[in-house]
Structure 1
């Protein structure tokens, strides 16, 4: 027996030992596959146990697993839903012997749990078992059968089982819970979770305590829940403490369960020493509180499944308190009624806002750089569209089953040391329509604001009214910078705006705003998309900009102080440069607003006053789309009588070189005044242009513009059609056309001091022009001035210090009397000296003593080639002119001048030096000139014809016209063949004198002289030759000879050009007579253009011929003694020295002598004498 007993005991020990120690010798890792398969079958997701599995019975039953991973929903971007480093479970042994399960400890080490809600509303906690539907149906049937058999006893048995399970310690060490909601873009991270949970049974009571990191702040939590009762009350006590803000939140209450109802009640309480710190921690904003900002809050909660009442709501911050009640009906929907009020809220005592910029950074963004954290290393980038456009899905949609009535009243709100009175908010939500029936308040500075709006189906409609009598004070109260304007501006504001807001657009219509005395009416539509779209119509009646300028700034141009480095009214220059260096080129933040939106604008300003000048009728009607600006009308109707209008297209307005295609129309009445208004420097020498009109097309880019412009100014019209290239050497290339009805008036308008010629008449010219900074070229020039056609080309080289002009011109007839400017006559008068002297007798007043303007010769260099049909000066015309001249450093060299005049050739070469004074050195030649035409045109003398040739050299110097005449020197020779023309009546007159001479001995000599002249030169060619010299303006010839038919005429003459006098003697000798005694002598003396003639000679030495001389008014023959003269009666007379006089002549003889004198003068006049 003893042996049997021992044997049984040994067997029991072995069995017990096997049970207790056997599991320790089993490799449980072989069963990982079975476990993961069962999990996958129940959840549809994979379970991965990377570490070892352990199961022990002694000394304490325990189970552990390491590195466990549970897969996430396939819709998630994260592969793992739950991961933990270690799972450990310990169970007490002895309670098992009595049929109870007591878990001593459950440990989750570093668990990471991701809870995600997807955009479709589903969550990653929804599992999809892989068991087939049939198996699922069978299990359901069996379950129903079991339920029917066991009845209500099953619940009782299950509850009894849960009640027998004790959980002493459930610990979470360094856990993390990551919650995200893709629909609301909510992302929260709870980190550093260290929690210990204890439960006497799985049906309560429970206790929880621990802490965690909430938005970076350490948060302590406590939770006590009583035992769940099927019929009775369960107590709930919860608390949260935030040590950093010294804030505590508590809830004490209970939940009662009865057969047909569930109710709850409790009290919520909270307090803290710093509300600002609490808000900063919970809502992630920078807020600092004042000293008196401790807070308390409390409310009584009571309700059931159909109703919730929050009564005795009290919120106190410092000395401020808000009270009220909220009722929520839960039957058949949600019906909320809210009524809150406060006599005074002093925000200055509650919060001091240091930085109102909310740092709305999600944990994803904040932890992007933490690559070592398997949870926080994830980031989700938002699109630009989500940042710039209101998402339609983010707009709330109110269920028709939710209704709300809210009323909030605050008598006084103190903010920024000012009082806001009568704040009231009344709102309602019903059938999905949310209404703000009234939101109003009386703001400081006599300001009022009122808002009424409604929201439904993602659309907000409403109206905002705002009014103030002191806008400056209101802005100052709100800490908004007030523009630097005079103190009486930015005062009165009255505005009314109706608006409509949708996810895709904002509509403001109508808009009515009055600021001070300026009124604005309009409407606007803003499309909220990736590229903003704006449509606006604005009408402004009048804006007085001068009234908004501080007195010191009116009319003050911005000046730069080189020493201080600061410009008037601007930031320091170094700071501006630094800012420019910080701003990268092409940065989206610095791009023009024009490149970020599309717009359709219609803006009208009735009047704008600037610097006392009204700008009336300002208009802009344009469309901006994809960076292209289409201008239908941009105009200014009146600015000091001027007007401007622009239309067309500008492509790539944000590009470095936009493309223009515009039409401009401008009328400028007073250009200097406009330049002054634009603060542009006055252009020195700018003439009074009067009214200027410009119209045409401008096309291209700023570096290459094609222009086709028509203009009118100074009484003329102009055209420019070509290309402007400011960035290259070709500033302009194209056509220039000028047409003016009166060139003289045009020049006078441009330069009132300029000399003109009234006979210029109409000037018209067109030319192709190429202009660069260094060269201006006119080619294909075709113009007319003074009825003279001008063609050719002109090149002006501006590269050197002195411009050089090269001209090749072809002209019609150049009438110098019509082309050359008229100069005022002037000079000095002087007496005339006797003939024969080479010294001038004085200066005639016809010669001007005003200094000649030689600046034109020194202002430029030139090479000129001229081909002209003719050059005319008064009666002198030179045809087929060809000339070449060079002007270099004020030295004009005439290398060629040739032409034809009066049937002969004319040439001239020489130099004109204008460096100090005008110095002329010319060689002149005229060959075979028709003397008849020359004398007819120059002196209206028609009695001589035949070819004449003249050669000579002239030099002169001086600073005035008078100097040039007085310093004229030279020499030359003259030759030719002359033929005198005689009329029939002159032949008859000569015969008559011969007849009279045979009857009247007193006039016999006259008849002989007349006959001699007619026979010698009338109709007979006469050879002429001679030389001349010019000295100091006095021309002298002593050898001028004309050989006629058996006669010769020798002439000696002195022509005093400065004094405009002539004195000459011409002696006629007949062949075969005494060569020392001229048959006829003619003296000319007096003004060059009207000399006095005197006649004498042998023809008067016949019998008593002195009577004829006296009748003609002549003098005694030169061979007679001046002391003794023969009177008309033949009586002897003596001079003054002889003291003798002739006897008196009787009256009848005087009368006869007078009649004879008149008769003879008449005869000689008919003979051309």
Structure 2
């Protein structure tokens, strides 16, 4: 018997061992098809097992399955509802032997569960077995149906089930409802659940990623007591802001109608950090970056929800508040909510730095990840054909909303907000109140109001509801300030320069309409200090800002808001900037132009339609009337339909055209600008340029310009008319990176005097040179301005040439000009205007310059005012001038050639040639314009004709002869007086064949020549004389080294000086008529003097000339009678040859006064002398006076008879 028992025991052991050990040696993967079939019979879905199946019993039953996929519903958007990378189940062995299930662990590795609402209104998670489908029975839960039923008695024990660890590792849960465009995904689920029994208690802990937000959770549910009550505690953690919320309480009435009562506590270190998890913004207000708490009781049940009698207490930093809520869903759904705050500190929000979101620290894992996985990719088995997952696309993105939100009609709600005071910038915004109600699907904004600093009141009321399938708000807004200055001062606006009676009252009233697409403000009426603004504006709520505005301002007096400022008159004499400064300023101007155009790129950031107008504006006591601006801005293009000002300080302004955004650049398209007016004075005053010049003198002005192409490289057509002058410019420019321009310029001046008067120039031409027209091609760069192909006319005189200017460190200019015959008289300043201009300039300078100007000059002729040569020191230049003729009064210079170079303050005139007075004049000079000017000059004149000199200088005297002159001079000084006083050098002059033909009134050095004419008798051509003068100039005084006169009648010499500083002459000399024995004999017989002294003394302008003629009159010659027979014998011709003269016409009077000789006829004979003083009483014809030959021969005969 014992052996039998042992045998039976052995058999039992073998059987049990086989049961426990044999499953480990079975290839369970071969049973995929059977397993899949069983699952399909139970669920109605295909099951695919793509990996291995492993099962063992010892030491405890363990099941491992990899690559599991449960098919989705037929109409779902994806092929699989559930997919699991690997399933691990570990069950305790011995509890199974006694009829209970104790699961040690269940681990789902990378499970993906997709829940979807189908088109038929069912969820894809609704499973139906084969039998259920055949019965086609569908049951739906009823509202209010209890979730738990307690039909079984307490004695019926629940299934003994215990799960120690239900672990989900790297799981994903997706919920999708296409009909409501809902898509939610929770990924990176790492959690652990435990279940002590079907009645609890339950525990859960884990971390998930919800919409990219890492969230941790913990939950505990106690054991359900009597199927009705259970306690719970839950907590949620956010990495952002280190925030957490705890909700603990009790579930009650689980069988009849579940209800929750609990306490909510939430806190965090930064509310801004928590909000940044949900609001994806670069920055958040710094006022949110403060600790916060929420605490209070809550209750939720079948009848509704509430925050308890005391509500929820809120704190944010030092601010405190309370929120109350009561929601009922029994019968008519109602919601009442209110939030109250005693005081909110707005200054914290103002001063705190903006919060910049940062990535939070990751939450710690609550599970240990699996280190080893079963191999996958084995043979798949299924009752149905395998479905390729790529056949259906898995949605990953939330679909865009295509339907507008609708307000519920089955609920009545009222929400209110009340804040006693909000402190902001040291003041309080008081009684902030808002009441919003919802009834019948419409929201009423019953009140949104506040009392603002500055005795201000704000209110907004309106109604929102569905309009044409869209939510729309219609309301009215009012804003009033009784003390606007107080409100502006509160906002930090500096009002110190605004008069106290301004900015006192402001009222704004308008209607407002808003929907998801637009916000419209219309019936706008704003009033401030007597000005009114009316109109409407519409703002389109798009990703690209768009708006339209139609506004009209009736009047506005800007002067009433400005404090008058004193303007300093600008100095007329300004030094030319150095090249570095000029270049920098050019670059700065270029940069400014580029900056302005870069600023215009803002036009590409919004779209707009504008219709703006202003009736009457006052600025700087000037009226601006009827201003209009109509334009559209779209995709960066600006189309100006009309931009005009009817009256801007007396001007009419207009603009039209377009600015096109092309290739990221603004391009002008027929952009036209016009300015017209009768006077620029008022406009200049507004622009602060009224002191520059007398703008009234400009008179009527007209300007028009047209721009095309890129604004940084525009084509420009410009026309300007003022003061009878017209300027036409056609060209193009390139403003960036280095400005440059090329243009053709035409300037026409009909009245030069009018132009100079209008421009306020001290220079006024003395006459009208006729119409002036100049054409040139201008090319500009910061380094060079050139004027090529200069052509034109001054009156009938043609001109041509070219010029250039280089704004270097030392500016450089070149001018090459060629003209025809040009009369200079019309261009010379009017008589007296130069002196007046100098006097004005001296008076305006005052101080040292004025004092110097008032000191008497050396002679009263020369000014001691310092000559301003700074202009020569600040620029280098090259001038080349050719002119067919230059005329002034009766003087004409022909074939004028001028070559001058200015370098480093030294003006070098290397050539100044001209044909003058029938001869040629050549001048070279050099002026060193240093602190003390130094001048050197060489003058050479050849072949000058005395007759032309006297004629062209309007002299009353007449003479012939030739003049040659050479002079070398140098001087230094700071004024005219100093230059003349320091004049040194030499001057040599020769006059050949000098013959006096007639003498004007008054005394002059020509009286000496007139005396020779008297001696020469009736044939003045015989009285030719040669004069040679050599002088040394020292300190402005020309001392005569030699001064000789040679003629057939007499010889003479002189000594003395010419004092230029004193403007005086002191020269004396003698004429000796003893040229041969016969003349000397005759002169001795006639008792004539041998020497005739003369002197020239006094002012150079009117010297006192004295000549002792010794009884010789200008009307007669030597009185030497000869017998007639000597004439008959031929002695007369002999004597005439000896004398070399024509004889004497009359007897000489005894007076020393000289009488002007009569004008000589062209045949060389002398006219009859004037009658004797007192006239003649005889009626008989005058006797013919004997000729000089007769008188000389007669006298010679009488002499021989003795």
**TMscore range, shorter length:** 0.5 to 0.7
Q: 1:778 to 1:13 in 2, by over 3 A?
A: closer
Corresponding residue SS for 1:126: coil
Matched, 1:463 2:503: no
Taking the aligned partners of 1:1153 and 1:1076, their CA distance within structure 2 comes to 32
Could you say which residue in structure 2 is the equivalent of 1:906?
920
Deviation by residue 1:216-247 (Cα, 9 ceiling, x = unmatched): 344324266689xxxxxx63646343388674
Taking the aligned partners of 1:773 and 1:352, their CA distance within structure 2 comes to 53
Deviation by residue 1:678-698 (Cα, 9 ceiling, x = unmatched): 899x99999998677643134
Aligned residues: 971
Matched, 1:971 2:976: no
Using the TM superposition, give the Cα deviation of residue 824 of structure 1 relative to its aligned residue in structure 2, in angstroms.
7.8
Correspondences of 1:805-824 after superposition (within 5 Å)? 805-815=814-824, 818-819=827-828
Using the TM superposition, give the Cα deviation of residue 1155 of structure 1 relative to its aligned residue in structure 2, in angstroms.
3.5
| Equivalent residues of 1:649, 1:662 under 8 A apart | yes
Could you say which residue in structure 2 is the equivalent of 1:316?
311
Q: 1:522 to 1:825 in 2, by over 3 A?
A: closer
Using the TM superposition, give the Cα deviation of residue 467 of structure 1 relative to its aligned residue in structure 2, in angstroms.
2.7
Could you say which residue in structure 2 is the equivalent of 1:436?
444
Could you say which residue in structure 1 is the equivalent of 2:1027?
1027
Using the TM superposition, give the Cα deviation of residue 269 of structure 1 relative to its aligned residue in structure 2, in angstroms.
2.2
Deviation by residue 1:776-811 (Cα, 9 ceiling, x = unmatched): 432222345576543222334554636353423223
Taking the aligned partners of 1:5 and 1:725, their CA distance within structure 2 comes to 117
Q: 1:631 to 1:673 in 2, by over 3 A?
A: same
Could you say which residue in structure 1 is the equivalent of 2:163?
170
Which among 86, 109, 134 is matched to residue 88 of structure 2? 86
Could you say which residue in structure 2 is the equivalent of 1:868?
883
Could you say which residue in structure 2 is the equivalent of 1:897?
913
Taking the aligned partners of 1:33 and 1:316, their CA distance within structure 2 comes to 60
| Equivalent residues of 2:803, 2:813 under 8 A apart | no
Deviation by residue 1:37-65 (Cα, 9 ceiling, x = unmatched): 65578665653364542164x887x4622
Could you say which residue in structure 1 is the equivalent of 2:850?
none
Which among 536, 551, 565 is matched to residue 523 of structure 1? 536
Which among 1070, 1074, 1079 is matched to residue 1074 of structure 1? 1079
Using the TM superposition, give the Cα deviation of residue 169 of structure 1 relative to its aligned residue in structure 2, in angstroms.
0.9
**Cα RMSD over matched residues?**
6.7
Taking the aligned partners of 2:567 and 2:958, their CA distance within structure 1 comes to 78
Correspondences of 1:230-245 after superposition (within 5 Å)? 235=228, 237=230, 239-242=232-235
Could you say which residue in structure 2 is the equivalent of 1:562?
none
Q: 1:906 to 1:241 in 2, by over 3 A?
A: same
Using the TM superposition, give the Cα deviation of residue 924 of structure 1 relative to its aligned residue in structure 2, in angstroms.
0.6
Using the TM superposition, give the Cα deviation of residue 195 of structure 1 relative to its aligned residue in structure 2, in angstroms.
2.5
Corresponding residue SS for 1:1095: coil
Q: 1:317 to 1:524 in 2, by over 3 A?
A: same
Q: 1:16 to 1:1162 in 2, by over 3 A?
A: farther
Deviation by residue 1:1-30 (Cα, 9 ceiling, x = unmatched): 999999999999977876676545433232
Using the TM superposition, give the Cα deviation of residue 86 of structure 1 relative to its aligned residue in structure 2, in angstroms.
1.3
Taking the aligned partners of 1:473 and 1:83, their CA distance within structure 2 comes to 72
| Equivalent residues of 1:235, 1:254 under 8 A apart | yes
Taking the aligned partners of 2:666 and 2:873, their CA distance within structure 1 comes to 43
| Equivalent residues of 2:697, 2:758 under 8 A apart | yes
Could you say which residue in structure 2 is the equivalent of 1:27?
27
Taking the aligned partners of 2:751 and 2:1103, their CA distance within structure 1 comes to 35
Taking the aligned partners of 1:739 and 1:336, their CA distance within structure 2 comes to 88
Taking the aligned partners of 2:354 and 2:108, their CA distance within structure 1 comes to 36
Could you say which residue in structure 2 is the equivalent of 1:721?
730
Using the TM superposition, give the Cα deviation of residue 923 of structure 1 relative to its aligned residue in structure 2, in angstroms.
0.7
Could you say which residue in structure 2 is the equivalent of 1:451?
461
| Equivalent residues of 2:810, 2:874 under 8 A apart | no
Taking the aligned partners of 1:174 and 1:350, their CA distance within structure 2 comes to 48
Q: 1:774 to 1:269 in 2, by over 3 A?
A: same
Taking the aligned partners of 1:744 and 1:527, their CA distance within structure 2 comes to 60
Taking the aligned partners of 1:1157 and 1:825, their CA distance within structure 2 comes to 57
| Equivalent residues of 2:343, 2:419 under 8 A apart | no
Deviation by residue 1:712-751 (Cα, 9 ceiling, x = unmatched): 5677443433344455777443233444455456556767
Taking the aligned partners of 1:190 and 1:857, their CA distance within structure 2 comes to 85
Which among 178, 192, 195 is matched to residue 194 of structure 1? 192
Matched, 1:707 2:716: yes
Matched, 1:736 2:745: yes
Could you say which residue in structure 2 is the equivalent of 1:337?
334
Could you say which residue in structure 1 is the equivalent of 2:549?
536
Matched, 1:425 2:436: yes
Taking the aligned partners of 2:488 and 2:1102, their CA distance within structure 1 comes to 95
| Equivalent residues of 1:640, 1:669 under 8 A apart | no
| Equivalent residues of 1:659, 1:700 under 8 A apart | yes
| Equivalent residues of 1:412, 1:423 under 8 A apart | no
| Equivalent residues of 1:1060, 1:1088 under 8 A apart | no
Q: 1:978 to 1:622 in 2, by over 3 A?
A: same
Deviation by residue 1:369-405 (Cα, 9 ceiling, x = unmatched): x9x999xxxxx9999xx9xxx9644742457xx4332
Taking the aligned partners of 1:321 and 1:885, their CA distance within structure 2 comes to 94
- Of the structure 1 ranges 14-23 and 904-913, higher mean CA displacement relative to structure 2 is found in 14-23
Using the TM superposition, give the Cα deviation of residue 593 of structure 1 relative to its aligned residue in structure 2, in angstroms.
4.4
5+ long unaligned stretches in structure 2? 138-148, 209-213, 238-243, 279-286, 314-319, 372-393, 569-593, 836-856, 999-1012, 1032-1036, 1108-1112, 1123-1142, 1156-1170, 1188-1202
Q: 1:974 to 1:426 in 2, by over 3 A?
A: same
Could you say which residue in structure 1 is the equivalent of 2:1137?
none
Using the TM superposition, give the Cα deviation of residue 523 of structure 1 relative to its aligned residue in structure 2, in angstroms.
3.0
Taking the aligned partners of 2:412 and 2:734, their CA distance within structure 1 comes to 71
Deviation by residue 1:992-1038 (Cα, 9 ceiling, x = unmatched): xxxxxxxxxxxxxxxxx999955x46xxx769462331645699964
Q: 1:180 to 1:500 in 2, by over 3 A?
A: farther
5+ long unaligned stretches in structure 1? 145-155, 228-233, 257-263, 303-307, 375-379, 557-584, 827-842, 982-1008, 1043-1047, 1118-1150
Q: Which has the higher contact order (CA 8 A, sep 6+)?
A: 2
Corresponding residue SS for 2:943: strand
Which among 101, 104, 120 is matched to residue 103 of structure 1? 101
Could you say which residue in structure 2 is the equivalent of 1:663?
672
Return the TM-score normalized by structure 1: 0.65
Taking the aligned partners of 2:1080 and 2:396, their CA distance within structure 1 comes to 130
| Equivalent residues of 1:755, 1:822 under 8 A apart | no
Could you say which residue in structure 2 is the equivalent of 1:777?
786
Taking the aligned partners of 1:1158 and 1:1038, their CA distance within structure 2 comes to 47
Correspondences of 1:49-64 after superposition (within 5 Å)? 50=51, 52-54=53-55, 56=57, 62=61, 64=63
Q: 1:2 to 1:367 in 2, by over 3 A?
A: closer
Correspondences of 1:25-424 after superposition (within 5 Å)? 25-36=25-36, 39=39, 47-48=48-49, 50=51, 52-54=53-55, 56=57, 62=61, 64-67=63-66, 69-70=68-69, 75=77, 81-89=83-91, 102-105=100-103, 107-110=105-108, 112-116=110-114, 126=124, 166-175=159-168, 178-181=172-175, 183-184=181-182, 186-188=184-186, 191-197=189-195, 208-213=202-207, 216-222=215-221, 235=228, 237=230, 239-242=232-235, 247-250=246-249, 252-254=251-253, 264-265=256-257, 267-272=259-264, 294-298=295-299, 301-302=301-302, 308=303, 314=309, 316-318=311-313, 326-328=327-329, 336-339=333-336, 346=342, 392-393=401-402, 395-398=404-407, 402-408=409-415, 420=431, 423-424=434-435
Deviation by residue 1:190-213 (Cα, 9 ceiling, x = unmatched): 84533233556xxxx565343444
| Equivalent residues of 2:1116, 2:1145 under 8 A apart | no
| Equivalent residues of 1:763, 1:783 under 8 A apart | yes
Could you say which residue in structure 2 is the equivalent of 1:581?
none
Q: 1:1010 to 1:197 in 2, by over 3 A?
A: closer
Q: 1:240 to 1:484 in 2, by over 3 A?
A: farther
